Amino acid sequence: MGSPYLKENRLSDVIAAITTLGTYKFYKLDFKGWSDRICGREERAGHWKAVFQEHPEFFRVDQGGGKASLVWRRQLPKNFHVDQKEDIPLPEGEKRHADVERLSRRPLDPSEITALINIATNLHDRALEQRKASRWWIPIFTGLLALAGAALGGWLSNGTLDFDSHRETPSKIDAGE
């Protein structure tokens, strides 16, 4: 099976998803939510679900299969208050924040998003190179076909089409001289 990076417009979709999932205030949404955020059309949720599932190097789908997130953000602590736009330390002696519904994982910095985009671009380039390398035999096969065609053409023109060129001419001995 071929690389998902070779699908039409896939690199631009991956970059759009990395950018959106990396910068939105909430780190995890359902597919309709991400579709609305990425392209403004909830009905394209199935497309984005496929992008997330086919690129586990960047995205994870939760155990319930209904929400997606960016792997890098999942590794961050869940202490970013989406309204205050800052990390809120856990109160002393507490195991959870009181306002857990408004907490997420912090958005990625521009340098972190750039790093992920560079990785996606490199993976895309590598997939293109592998596809090109897997077709090494095409020029050789074409050359062999051309050689066989030329040989066959030469044989036909010298061997079977000119029937008179191979006839023996009567010699003087046969003529009785």
**pLDDT value for 34:** 97
Rounded to two decimals, the pTM is: 0.72
**pLDDT value for 68:** 97
What are the helix (H) ranges across the chain?
A: 10-23, 31-39, 45-54, 71-74, 110-133, 137-155
Rounded to a whole number, what is the largest CA-CA distance in the chain?
130
**pLDDT value for 58:** 97
**Per 3-state DSSP, what percentage of the chain is helix, strand, and coil (rounded to 5)?**
55, 10, 35
**pLDDT value for 168:** 59
CA–CA distance, 104 with 135 (Å, rounded to integer): 47
* Overall average pLDDT of the 126-143 stretch: 76
Residue 90: pLDDT band with limits 50, 70, 90 = confident
